[in-house]
Amino acid sequence: MRILVTGAHGLLGQKTALIAAQESAHEILLTDLDPTSIFGPPRFEYEQLDVTRASDVKSLVSQYRPDVIIHTAAMTDVDACETEREQCWRVNVDAVKHLLVAARKLEGCHFIHISSDYVFDGERGSYDETCRPNPISYYGKSKLASENAVVASGVSATIVRTQILYGAGYRVRKNFVTWVLSMLEKNEPFRVVNDQVGSPTFVDDLAYALLRIAERKTTGLFHISGPEAVDRWTFARNAATVFGFNPELILQTTTSEIGQTAHRPKNSSFVILRFETTFGLRMCGTMEGLRRFFEQHRDGTESLQDLFARKPS
């Protein structure tokens, strides 16, 4: 099978590539904004691709002729999306349309789109796929519009909503856990909100799930996250404990006290039953995910060079 991955230098894109290298023999073309690949020995091909450039998207997709496109590229800085709205829309919505136009021209091409819990307002929590979205940030609006574009396109597609990705990646934007760890390393007290609840997702599990979805080309909307609802303060303290830092350094604060640029849902936790029953896969809870992350970190197996040197089994 030929898989095209966008945003392959991002956290989820990297993990998808690394796990594909270990778990599958698929032919994979990685793409991102950078002119050259960050990956070592070329298990996969790499092409520079700015997904906002319609003609580049069209020519790359028509030349490579993927069976599946895993679209992880996005503008993911939620506060920047609030202030740089045009750029947010170009990357998070218009680019999706460019990819869909290109995919529609290929017979049997399946599109896997990554969306977000931020399509919900967070007033109730425990959201399943039947719940009505009501985004309260521009990022959330852009992700909902991108979902609608996928549905309207008629292209065979899976929409995956996920949230609070954590794990290791080479030169990626800080995720919540890596931010907490960088603060803990300073050995000074700092504050984390205790009134934002979500379902943290170990990125390795999501990447693994995406590859299984690619193989089955199952269409529809799926919520994929860790199974628990946890507030950020508790999650941060758990990360401190697992990584051997002092959890008492992490003090509590509230969303209203820190005043983030974009509104955040209070409780956007997911119910993931549809995903679990459809695919028979299990997503790990936060303590297990944090321990697995710690083990990778301790073993040093997170080096891209090391992982790519291994033959896929």
Ligand X SMILES: NC(=O)c1ccc[n+]([C@@H]2O[C@H](COP(=O)([O-])OP(=O)(O)OC[C@H]3O[C@@H](n4cnc5c(N)ncnc54)[C@H](OP(=O)(O)O)[C@@H]3O)[C@@H](O)[C@H]2O)c1
Q: Which residues of the shown chain bind ligand X in the complex (CB under 6 A)?
A: 6-7, 9-13, 32-33, 49-52, 72-76, 91, 95, 114, 116, 162-165, 172-173, 175
Check residue 189 and give left, alpha or beta (phi > 0: left; psi -120 to 50: alpha): beta
120-155 b/e with 16+ CB inside 10 Å = b?
A: bbbeebebebeeebebbbbbbbbbbbbbebbeebeb
Q: Is the dihedral of CA 42, 45, 153, 84 positive or negative?
A: positive
For residue 139, indicate whether it is catalytic.
yes
The three-state secondary structure class of 50 is coil
Check residue 275 and give left, alpha or beta (phi > 0: left; psi -120 to 50: alpha): alpha
Measured from the CB atom, the residue of 54 and 249 that comes closer to ligand X is 54
Q: State the catalytic residue, choosing from 64, 118, 127, 139.
A: 139
Which residue lies nearest ligand X, judged by its C-beta?
A: 10
Measured from the CB atom, the residue of 175 and 238 that comes closer to ligand X is 175
Residue whose structure tokens are 């758990």: 238
Minimum distance, C-beta of residue 287 to ligand X, in the bound complex (Å): 19
Measured from the CB atom, the residue of 9 and 237 that comes closer to ligand X is 9
82-98 b/e with 16+ CB inside 10 Å = b?
A: beeeeebbbbbbbbbbb
Minimum distance, C-beta of residue 311 to ligand X, in the bound complex (Å): 26
Measured from the CB atom, the residue of 11 and 242 that comes closer to ligand X is 11
Minimum distance, C-beta of residue 32 to ligand X, in the bound complex (Å): 5
Name the residues annotated as catalytic.
139
